[in-house]
Amino acid sequence: MNSITKIFAVLTALEFLYIFYLETLVTASAKTSKVFGMEKDELERKSVNTLFKNQGVYNGLLAVLILLAVFAFASKTAVICLMVYIIAVALYGSFTSNPKIILMQGGLAILTLISSLF
């Protein structure tokens, strides 16, 4: 795995750790409200808050898997599989929720995948 791929993969992991932070640790904050385009009172609703926290844990675990693939296993194949998965989920989100999701959550994964091909 080349250095550029490692750098992009780590940046992708950091992005997902940030999403974990927003969705799980500061779920009803002004920053989370701004990033996700939702009113703070909506984020404070128990059902929405619980869903956000669940989604945040998912994103945090993706970050951990990326870091394990890069550093513990040094597996280009694992990194590629994770990036394809992230891009697929971002594509789904862009069709069902907000078209910007493909670039917001899939952009770094796309760059990582492209860099892994060289």
The predicted-structure confidence for 39-87, as pLDDT tens digits, reads as follows 999 999 999 999 999 999 999 999 999 999 999 999 999 999 999 999 9
Domain boundaries along the sequence of the chain: 3-116
pTM for the model stands at: 0.95
For 64-102, b where at least 16 C-beta lie within 10 A, e where not — what string? Answer: ebbbebbeeeeebebbbebbeebbebbeebbeeeeeebb
CB atoms within 10 A of CB 111: 18
Report the pLDDT value the prediction gives residue 17, as an integer from 0 to 100. Answer: 98
Percent of the residues in the chain that have a pLDDT greater than 90, as a whole number: 99
- What is the chain's mean pLDDT, rounded? 97
